[in-house]
Amino acid sequence: MIGTSALVVELPAAAGLLEVAAAVNPGLVRPGLPPHVTALYPFLPDELLDEDVDAAVAELATRHEVTDVPLTDLVVTGGFVAVSAPALQPLADAACDRWPDVRPYGGRFGPHPPAHVSLALGGSEAENAEVAERGRTLLPLIGRAEALHLIVLTERGWQLRLTAPLAPPAR
């Protein structure tokens, strides 16, 4: 829906997994979005985004370190194929806790949905099985989480509003 926003962590290392899904059926992959883990979606409507929200997102990012994100386990369920990203669960949970009135995914998966990289949405059972079979050949992968991004859906697709770097790893 135009005007909605999301908090996401890009994981370029997972690009091959999205390419696999698109090769099975391009309609399974959301256009205009790089491989990512969603921390909170839908976030706030565009008209509520302001400097205070930007500052809160940036502050949230500074409380979480740059981290490697192992991608090892595929999840296939009801028209959905994903790879679990438990290393980013603390960040996703913190985003949900910071904005408790924003129900992730409209509340369909509870207050703290599992962190994951979506590969395919809305596929048939056969398409999902093919995406999963091909995707497993690319696993395991390790992505690198470096920033929390605030993106907004516009008439031209998803647009970046803010990039908030994660904290440097502790030494």
Q: Taking all residues of the chain, what is their mean pLDDT, rounded to a whole number?
A: 96
How far apart are alpha carbons 167 and 169 in whole angstroms? 6
Contact between 132 and 139 (Cβ < 8 Å) = no
Mean pLDDT for the stretch of residues 68-83:
94
Q: How far is CA 66 from CA 74, 92, 110, 135, 144, in A?
A: 23, 14, 26, 25, 7
Residue among 43, 67, 47 at smallest CA distance from 57: 43
- Give this prediction's pTM: 0.95
**86-139 per-position pLDDT tens digit:** 999 999 999 999 999 999 999 988 999 999 999 999 999 999 999 999 999 999
CATH architecture of 5-165: Alpha-Beta Complex (3.90)
For 26, phi then psi, to 5°, come to -55, -25
User: CA angle, 108 as apex, 32 and 81 as ends, to 5°?
Assistant: 50
User: At 62, which amino acid appears?
Assistant: T
Residue among 105, 133, 146, 99 at smallest CA distance from 21: 133
